[in-house]
Structure 1
Amino acid sequence: MNPRTILVLGASGLIGRFVTDDLRARGFRAVGVARSLSPAQKMSALDIELPILSLDATALVSEHEVDVVVNCLGVLQDGPGSDTHAVHRDFVARLLQAIAGSGRAIRLVHVSIPGTAEADRTAFATTKRAAERLIAASGIPYAILRPGFVVAPSAYGGSAMLRALAAFPLDLPEKEMATPFQPVAMADISTTIAWLAARETDDASVKAVTWDLMQSEPVTMAGVIKQFRLAFGTASWPHAAMPSFMLDLGARLGDLANRLGWMPPMRSTAIAELRRGVTGDPSGWIAATGIAPKTLTDTIGRHPASIQDKWFARLFLIKALIIASLVVFWLVSGFIALFVSYRAAAGILTAHSFPPALVDPITTGTSLMDMSIGGLIAFRRTAAIGLIAGIIASLGYMFGAAILTPDLWVEPLGALVKTGPAIVLMLVALLMLDNR
């Protein structure tokens, strides 16, 4: 008997990647599809890069003769290349049409969010709920899964942010720390999907189900962070709670970064969803599948965090600070040389016997180059180009000064000497650009 074919949409994400690999380990033929896969995520010929949102869903379903479609697609907030309505609702509508018209008995497993429609306030939540209504009215076999706060071996987005908080003596405001936050182990999500995939499509008991996937015991965000701190060895540290305005300011800065193509975990949508909390009733899921949800202790682990875990948690929030500081460094240095201290900047070249005809072009050109490098680093799509250009430009300044103006190396403020650490910081930023 041939193994069932399962199409996993969003196979580059936190849930999608884990589910794809786990299903293959269980003997299923899992086809992982994503808009973009990192080289490390292309585990087999069944990992496929496709422009999912603009693709004909009918061809996607029929080409692979799938038995189950697992939809893990999702975006937190509208931004460049991210449209919550297009991803959560429009694509699901086309996917439902493709499944209904395929002539095959296909089950849709749709990963959604917990909560009720009455509490939905963000575009993220309302479009997710709109997709649920479309699925429920479609008449096809479906299972809507509503995971709680997902705890996985890897980290991304909100789960990475909580790890970062656990690595520092810093708490969210008291009100947010008391928010209900029922977690679920990634392994429990994948086990549930495998359990559904093994069932016949016409099994009436699971033909149309909506389940909350999370542990039964109530947990707050403070409890989740505390468990991470126990693993990191930081539980005994004194902690200070940040004021609410800092959290709101961080969300606004995150929204600005989102417009530049970055996807920081601290955005207005993330904070709004965090304040709503993560709650649900997993009893229906537990009764139907017999799965005993892993506790928070079992999920995070009973062993100390590895050095890789600690480094990631400590550097996660610092990454944004590194990128922002480099953007400001290049923009401000170029702006000052061009508009504030132009005569002083040009005077350095004049004092070192540069031909007068070259002084103004070189001063203006290098200033514009510095500002351009800052602009390139600011946008996620061009950040790598900007960082490489910054490293090359800095090395050029250092070697050029060594040949043409060697006395600048011993000037009192050590401007050229400080260029070395700046190059190292840009190299660190370049190595930290990957999100997945």
Structure 2
Amino acid sequence: MTQRTILVLGASGLIGRFVTDDLRARGLRVVGLARSLSPAQQLSALDLELPILSLDTTALTRLLSEHAVDVVVNCLGVLQDGPGSDTNAVHRDFVMRLLQAIATSSRAIRLVHISIPGAAEADRTAFAMTKRQAEHLIAESGVPHAILRPGFVVAPSAYGGSAMLRALAAFPLDLPGKEMATPFQPVAVEDISATIAWLAAREIGDASVKAVSWDLMQSEPITMAGVIKQFRFAFGTAGWPCVTMPSFMLDLGAKVGDLANYLGWMPPMRSTAIAELRRGVQGDPSAWVAATGIVPKTLTETVGRHPATIQDKWFARLFLIKALIVASLVTFWLISGLIALVVSYRAAAGILTAHNFPPALVDPVTIGTSLMDMSIGVLIAFRRTAAIGLVAGIVASLGYMFGAAILTPDLWIEPLGALVKTGPAIVLMLVALLILDNR
């Protein structure tokens, strides 16, 4: 049998990246495609960066032909609408064009589509409803396909909800009791990749897998509390007494997360994430197991094989603190600039006057530095410009320190130590800059 080519769409994501690398390790020819790949993710000449969602049917057909694709694995997905994220465009409209491209291709191609588990009547969010619409489009297309509905995905890396659960496991903090009791059946990402490899080995004309929909997850029932407990065993925090988060804090966190979403950030705690969390993750993997012979790994086998490394612990501890760091820096720069410009303008200008600063420059410098501080806060607030804002904040802080050393050296020994405290602020901005990446 000639070697088949697999095209993985969304090769930078949690599932897509692992599947791309794992299938290559199995000896398969895999083309990984993503809108954006980090330098570390560009592991092969077959890792491609393209504006996937902008590709029309003709461009998709040409892509399939140029790479002689036999299997398309669609791992694309977004949790919630926001700047640069459109659930309709990703889950429904793109799938429609992809199906048209496969149908009109001169090659026989199988589509493997990553969806979500659960009953359609329980769909309440735009995320779930558009995912289900894509399933209907695929089922009605006549294209050979396999719809895979993985449970809570456990992978070596962490992103979004999987990262949040690791963070909860690293701290003595529990979600409200109702949420902790929701069904939460996990699946090892290795089992997803093994299923795709199994499908890729099947002949396109094999009637038994021409149109299948499988739930991929461990058979044994488990709740979210059980999932977090298993992670706590790995992190060494299982014996810690825990504080239960009040429900209103979870809802408040979702609203704050929605605001951050509009600023371009993708926090795991958003209204859609909480709604899907409360819905739970459950399904029936029996059809998948019977067809493929794959025995799904249990959570104990997946997480319990190795204790958490120091890298795992640092990431989990910093994950929730990252939002606090960014929010505190935004608040610091905005408020410090606003206070100097409005509340304590005369006092701020008086510092320059008292140190024989040229009178003609006192007001412009006071106003200019205040606006600069506020601008830095705004830059940090938006994800797209956060790195620029943090670098600007570090440069501005160093400028204040050196400028004061030359023009007003006595400020270094004033009782409250305002300039001395600038040093730790610079370090905090450096930390924020170093942990800015999401994946």
Q: When the two structures are superposed, what TM-score results if normalisation uses the length of structure 1?
A: 0.99
Runs of at least 5 residues in structure 1 that lack an aligned partner in the other structure = none
User: In the alignment, which residue of structure 1 is the partner of 2:418?
Assistant: 415
Please give the residue correspondences for 1:316-331 in structure 2 after superposition, counting only pairs within 5 Å: 316-331=319-334
User: In the alignment, which residue of structure 2 is the partner of 1:76?
Assistant: 79
Amino acid at match of 1:298: E
User: In the alignment, which residue of structure 2 is the partner of 1:370?
Assistant: 373
Runs of at least 5 residues in structure 2 that lack an aligned partner in the other structure = none
* 1:405 maps to 2:408: yes
User: In the alignment, which residue of structure 2 is the partner of 1:50?
Assistant: 50
Please give the residue correspondences for 1:8-157 in structure 2 after superposition, counting only pairs within 5 Å: 8-55=8-55, 56-157=59-160
Amino acid at match of 2:284: D
User: In the alignment, which residue of structure 2 is the partner of 1:235?
Assistant: 238
Q: Distance in 2 between matches of 1:198 and 1:73?
A: 23
Amino acid at match of 1:12: S
Q: Distance in 2 between matches of 1:400 and 1:306?
A: 44
Asked if the contact 1:14/1:154 (under 8 Å) is kept, the reply is yes
Question: 1:58 deviation in Å?
Answer: 1.7
Question: 1:159 deviation in Å?
Answer: 0.4
Question: 1:116 deviation in Å?
Answer: 1.2
Secondary structure of 1:413 counterpart: coil
User: In the alignment, which residue of structure 2 is the partner of 1:300?
Assistant: 303
Question: 1:170 deviation in Å?
Answer: 0.4
Please give the residue correspondences for 1:269-418 in structure 2 after superposition, counting only pairs within 5 Å: 269-418=272-421
Q: Distance in 2 between matches of 1:103 and 1:3?
A: 18
Asked if the contact 1:3/1:27 (under 8 Å) is kept, the reply is no
Q: When the two structures are superposed, what TM-score results if normalisation uses the length of structure 2?
A: 0.99
* 1:256 maps to 2:256: no
Asked if the contact 1:143/1:210 (under 8 Å) is kept, the reply is yes
Question: 1:60 deviation in Å?
Answer: 2.1
Asked if the contact 1:9/1:73 (under 8 Å) is kept, the reply is yes
Q: Distance in 2 between matches of 1:49 and 1:6?
A: 16
Amino acid at match of 2:108: A
Asked if the contact 1:173/1:241 (under 8 Å) is kept, the reply is yes
* 1:217 maps to 2:186: no
1:161-191 Cα offsets, whole Å, 9 max, x none, are 0000000000000000000000000000000
Question: 1:2 deviation in Å?
Answer: 4.1
Amino acid at match of 1:23: L
Q: Distance in 1 between matches of 2:392 and 2:432?
A: 13
Question: 1:229 deviation in Å?
Answer: 0.3
Question: 1:304 deviation in Å?
Answer: 1.7
Amino acid at match of 2:90: V
Question: 1:62 deviation in Å?
Answer: 1.8
Asked if the contact 1:144/1:209 (under 8 Å) is kept, the reply is yes
Secondary structure of 1:265 counterpart: coil
Asked if the contact 2:8/2:31 (under 8 Å) is kept, the reply is yes
Q: Distance in 2 between matches of 1:16 and 1:60?
A: 18
Q: Distance in 2 between matches of 1:103 and 1:356?
A: 78
* 1:184 maps to 2:187: yes
Asked if the contact 2:154/2:162 (under 8 Å) is kept, the reply is yes
Q: Distance in 1 between matches of 2:393 and 2:288?
A: 53
User: In the alignment, which residue of structure 1 is the partner of 2:6?
Assistant: 6
Question: 1:393 deviation in Å?
Answer: 0.2
Q: Distance in 1 between matches of 2:377 and 2:433?
A: 14
Q: CA RMSD in A?
A: 0.6
Q: Where in structure 1 do 4 or more consecutive aligned residues deviate above 6 Å?
A: none
Question: 1:65 deviation in Å?
Answer: 1.2
